[in-house]
Structure 1
Amino acid sequence: MAAVGQSVSQGVIVVVERLEARVDLPQLPLPLTAQERTVMRGRRRTSCGRDVLLQLPRHGVLHPGDQLVDALRSCLVVVEAAPEALLRVQGFSTLSLLQAAYHLGNRHVALELHEQELFLLDDSVLAGMLETRGLQVSRCQRPFAPEGGAYARHSHP
C-alpha cells in the first residue's frame, strides 16, 4: 500500500480529503452514481479515464460539486452525479404523487422528489405497482439525487 499522498501505481490518484473552500487547480470530474456517493473507500475512474482511489473519512455522503484532493493538494477531483437508469413518475394530482411517495417510502425506496414528479431507480416491479395506482411511469437516463432521509447529516453552505 502506498503512503498517504503517493500514488498506488503510475496514474492512480489517492484522494484523502474533502475541501470546504474552493481552490484553483485543474479539475478532474468524477461521475458517481447515488450509491457510489455513499461509499468513501475504493477505486473509481474519472470521466477522462484517470484512476482514483478514495480513502476518505467515513462520515457523510459525497454530493455533486464536492472537491476531493490528495494529501499534497496537487490534484483536484470534483464529484459529479453520473446518469442512471431511472423511473420518472407523474401523477394526475398532487395527492396521487404524495400517496406514491408514501408507499415507496414504506418500502425504503430511495426517491428524488419534485413538485410534479418523482424519480427512483429503474425497477420493473415498482413500475408495475405505480402503474396499477394510475400513475404515469416512464424510463429515463439522468443523474439521481435522492433525498437523504430523516437521519442524513450533511449540508452545504
Structure 2
Amino acid sequence: MLRVTQNLGQVNESAEDTLTLPFELRQKGRLRAVSDGGTELGLFLERGKVLMGGDKLVSECGRVFEVRAGVEPVITAHAPDWPSFARACYHLGNRHVTLEIGERWLRFAPDHVLEHLAEHLGLRLEHEQTPFNPESGAYHGHAHEH
C-alpha cells in the first residue's frame, strides 16, 4: 500500500493515476482507497481540508494521483427566479446544509425533509447521479487574526 502524505492542491502537475471519491470520502484526511488504476493507497493528509476534483496528491515515493469527484446521488433544485433562489439559500443555509450552488440552482444530498422544504419554496427538483462539489464554508481555508 502506498502512503499518500501530501496534497499539492490545484497545480499544473501531470498525474500517473487518478483517485475517484464521492464527497463523503473527500472530506477525510485518513482513508484507505484504491486508485482508478488499481493501486492500494493509504491517505494520511491534513485533517479538515476537503479534497477537490483536480487536486494532486503525492505519495511518499513521489507518485502523483489526481483526485476526481465521483458520481453520486444528489438532488438538484432549480429556482424559477432570484428571490426564490435567495429564499432557498437562506432556509437551507440556516439548517447548515452542505450545498453546491450554481446559477439559480442548488445541489444537496438526498433528504426527504430538505426535498419537501425546497418544493415548498417553489423549486423544481431533479434526482441525479453526478459529482457533488459543495461550497467549502464561510471559514474554510481562511486565516484569522486574533
Question: TM range, normalised to the smaller chain?
Answer: 0.7 to 0.9
Counterpart of 2:65? 77
- Identity %, equivalent residues: 35
**How far 1:35 moved relative to its partner?**
2.3
Residue 31 in structure 1 maps to residue 10 in structure 2: no
Computed over aligned residues only, the root mean square deviation of the Cα atoms, in angstroms, reads 1.7
Counterpart of 1:125? 113
TM-score by length of 2: 0.87
Unaligned runs of 5+ in 2: none
TM-score by length of 1: 0.81
Counterpart of 1:93? 81
Check the 8 A contact 2:19/2:68 in 1, yes or no: yes
Greater radius of gyration (CA): 1
**How far 1:59 moved relative to its partner?**
5.1
Unaligned runs of 5+ in 1: 1-11
| Larger CA deviation: 125-134 vs 144-153 | 125-134
The 1:59/1:87 distance shift into structure 2, 3 A limit, reads closer
Once residues 104 and 28 of structure 2 are traced to their aligned partners in structure 1, the CA distance between those partners, rounded to angstroms, is 30
Once residues 7 and 78 of structure 2 are traced to their aligned partners in structure 1, the CA distance between those partners, rounded to angstroms, is 36
Once residues 13 and 79 of structure 2 are traced to their aligned partners in structure 1, the CA distance between those partners, rounded to angstroms, is 43
**How far 1:96 moved relative to its partner?**
0.3
Once residues 70 and 146 of structure 1 are traced to their aligned partners in structure 2, the CA distance between those partners, rounded to angstroms, is 26
Select which of 91, 96, 100 maps to 1:108: 96
Residue 148 in structure 1 maps to residue 131 in structure 2: no
| Structure 1 segments (4+ residues) deviating >6 Å | none
Cα-to-partner distance string for 1:93-152 (whole Å, 9 max, x where unaligned): 111011011110111101111112111111122111211222111100111111111101
Alignment of 1:11-90 (within 5 A): 12-19=1-8, 21-24=11-14, 27-58=16-47, 60-73=49-62, 75-90=63-78
Check the 8 A contact 2:7/2:56 in 1, yes or no: yes
Aligned length in residues: 141
